[in-house]
Structure 1
Amino acid sequence: MYSLLIADDEALEREGLELMIRHMMPDTFTFLHAENGRRAIQIAEEERPDFIFMDIKMPGIQGLEAVREIMSRYPSTKIVIITAHDYFSYAKEGLALGVRGYLLKPASLAEVQNTLTMLIAESEEEKRARNDQLALREKLSQLMPLAENELSLMLMLECVQEVELEQLAGLLNLQWEKGYAMALSFSRRSRKELETFQLVKKEIYEAVKQLAKPNLSCLVSPVVGYQMALFIPFPSGKPGYSQRVISLEWGEKIRGFIEERFQVPLSVGIGSIREGWDGMTRSYREAVRVCADDSDIVSVRHYDDITHSSGQKIISLDDEKKLLDALLRHDKQETTERFSLLFERLEQSEPRSFQRLRGEVVGLLLFLSRGVRYGDSAELISSLGAAEDAEALHSGALVWLNGWIDGMKQEKEQSRSSVLQRALLYIGEKYKEDISMESSAEYVNLSPYYFSKLFKLQTGETFIDYVTRLRIDEAKRLIAEQNLSLKEICYEVGYNDPNYFSRVFKKTTGITPSEYRQQACAKSLLT
Structure 2
Amino acid sequence: MYSLLIADDEALEREGLELMIRHLFPDTFEFLHAENGRKAIQLAEEHRPDIVFMDIKMPGIQGLEAVRQILHKLPSAKIVMITAHDYFSYAKEGLLLGVKDYLLKPARREEVADVLKQLITEIQEEKRRRHEQLEQQERLAHLLPLAENELTLMLMLEYVQEIELEQLAGLLNLQWSKGYAMVLSFPRQASGEWTDFQLVKREIYEAVKQLVKSGLGCLAGPLIGYQMALFIPLPPGRTGYSQRVLSLDWGERLRSLAEQRFGLPLNVGIGSIREGWDGLSRSYREAVRVCADNNDLFSVRHYDDITQSSGQTAISLDEENKLIEALLRRDKQEAIERFVRLYTTFGEAVEQSFSTLRGEIIGLLLFLARAVQSKAGAGIIADLNTVEDSQSLKQGAEHWLEMLIDSLNEERESSRSHVHQRALLYINQNYKEDISMEQAAEYVNLSPHYFSKLFRQQAGETFIDYLTRLRINEAKRLIAGEELSLKGICYEVGYKDPNYFSRVFKKAVGITPSEFRQQYGKQSPC
Which stretch has the larger CA shift, 300-309 or 199-208? 199-208
Equivalent residues in 2 for 1:137-176, closer than 5 Å? 137-159=137-159, 161-176=161-176
Cα 1:328–1:263 shift into 2, 3 Å: farther
Secondary structure (helix, strand or coil) at the match of 2:363 reads helix
| 1:284 is the counterpart of 2:265 | no
Verify the 8 A CA contact 2:160 2:278 in the aligned structure 1: no
Alignment of 1:386-397 (within 5 A): 386-397=386-397
Partner of 1:212 in structure 2? 212
* Counterpart Cα distance in 2 of 1:50 and 1:240: 55
Larger Rg: 2
**Residues 21-170 of structure 1 mapped to structure 2, 5 A cutoff:** 21-159=21-159, 161-170=161-170
Query: Which amino acid in structure 1 is aligned with residue 205 of structure 2?
Result: Y
- Answering whether residue 255 of structure 2 is matched by residue 252 of structure 1, we say no
Deviations along 1:312-337, one digit per CA (max 9) or x if unpaired, are: 43212221121122112211110111
**C-alpha displacement of 1:6:** 0.8
Gaps of 5+ in 2: 427-434, 455-526
Give 1:60 shift.
1.0
Q: Distance in 1 between matches of 2:217 and 2:244?
A: 16
- Superposition pairs of residues 259-270 of structure 1, within 5 angstroms: 259-270=259-270
Q: Which amino acid aligns with 1:249?
A: D
Give me the whole-angstrom Cα distance separating, in 2, the residues matched to 1:420 and 1:433.
14
CA distance in 2, matches of 1:149, 1:425: 39
Q: Is the 8 A contact 1:44 1:70 kept in 2?
A: yes
- Work out the CA distance in 2 between the residues paired with 1:421 and 1:117: 68
Would the alpha carbon gap of residues 194 and 174 (structure 1) be closer, same or farther in structure 2, given more than 3 Å must change?
same
1:192–1:298: structure 2 CA closer, same or farther, 3 Å change rule?
farther
Name the SS for the 1:140 alignment partner: helix
> In the TM superposition, what is the alpha-carbon distance from 1:29 to its structure 2 partner?
1.2
**C-alpha separation in 1, matches of 2:374 and 2:300:** 27
Moved more, 100-109 or 311-320: 311-320
Partner in structure 2 of residue 413 of structure 1: 413
CA RMSD of aligned residues (A): 2.9
Check the 8 A contact 2:157/2:371 in 1, yes or no: yes
| Cα distance change on mapping 1:123 and 1:220 into 2, 3 Å | same
User: For 1:237 and 1:355, how far apart are their aligned partners in 2?
Assistant: 35
Q: Report what 1:227 is aligned to.
A: 227
CA distance 1:249–1:79, change in 2 (3 Å)? same
Mark the CA change 1:146 to 1:379 in structure 2 (over 3 Å): closer, same or farther: same
- 1:456 corresponds in structure 2 to none
> What is the distance in 2 between the residues matched to 1:271 and 1:307?
11
Whether contact under 8 Å (2:8, 2:55) holds in the other structure is yes
Partner SS, residue 223 of structure 2: coil
Q: Give the drift of 1:167.
A: 2.1
Q: Which region of structure 1 is more displaced relative to structure 2, 309-318 or 246-255?
A: 309-318
Residue 478 of structure 1 corresponds to none
Partners of 1:187 and 1:194 within 8 A in 2: no
C-alpha distance after superposition, 1:216-272 (max 9, x if no partner): 222222222321111222222333322222221111111221233333322111122
Partners of 1:431 and 1:322 lie apart in 2 by 37
Please say if 1:329 is aligned against 2:329.
yes
1:199 CA displacement: 4.2
Aligned to 1:299: 299
Deviates more, 1:106-115 or 1:403-412: 403-412
Deviation at 1:194, TM superposition (A): 4.2
Larger CA deviation: 116-125 vs 391-400: 391-400
Query: Alpha carbons of 1:316 and 1:193: their partners in 2 closer, same or farther (altered >3 Å)?
Result: farther
Q: Determine whether 1:385 maps to 2:385.
A: yes
User: Secondary structure of the residue that 1:53 maps to in structure 2?
Assistant: strand
Matched, 1:19 2:25: no
The residue aligned with 1:502 is none
What CA distance in whole angstroms lies between the structure 1 residues aligned with 2:305 and 2:112? 76
Deviation at 1:129, TM superposition (A): 1.0
| Range with greater deviation from structure 2 (247-256 or 153-162) | 153-162
- Structure 1 segments unaligned to the other structure (5+ residues): 445-462, 475-527
Q: What is the deviation of 1:192?
A: 5.4
Q: What does 1:352-501 correspond to in 2, within 5 Å? A: 352-374=352-374, 376-418=376-418, 422=422, 432=438, 467=447, 470=450
Q: Tell whether the 8 Å contact from 1:272 to 1:283 is kept in structure 2 after alignment.
A: yes
* Native 8 Å contact 1:375 1:404 kept in 2: no
Paired residue secondary structure (1:222)? strand
Partners of 2:423 and 2:154 lie apart in 1 by 25
For 1:286, the aligned partner's letter is E
What's the counterpart of residue 308 of structure 2? 308
Match of 2:346 in 1: 346
Q: What one-letter code is carried by the residue in structure 1 that aligns with 2:132?
A: D
Q: 1:205 to 1:399 in 2, by over 3 A?
A: same
SS in 2 for 1:269: strand
Summarize deviations over 1:399-442 as a string: whole Å, max 9, x none.
Answer: 1111222233233323334469848998xx9785798xxxx6xx
Instruction: Work out the number of aligned pairs and report it.
Output: 447
Please identify, of 21-30 and 114-123, the stretch whose mean Cα deviation from structure 2 is larger. Answer: 21-30
Distance 1:177 1:423 in 2: 49
The AA in structure 1 aligned to 2:303 is Y
8 Å CA contact retained: 1:189, 1:378: no
Partners in 2 of 1:119 and 1:168 — Cα distance? 40
Distance 1:422 1:391, change over 3 A: same
Q: Secondary structure at the match of 2:366?
A: helix
1:184-199 correspondence to structure 2 within 5 Å = 184-188=184-188, 190-191=190-191, 194-199=194-199
Contact 1:196 1:264 (C-alpha < 8 Å) held by counterparts: no
Q: Who is 2:182 aligned against?
A: 182
User: Which SS does the other structure have where 2:224 is aligned?
Assistant: coil
CA apart distance, 1:338: 0.4
Query: Could you tell me whether the CA contact under 8 Å between 1:187 and 1:193 is conserved in 2?
Result: no
Paired amino acid for 2:173 = N
**1:205 positional shift:** 2.2
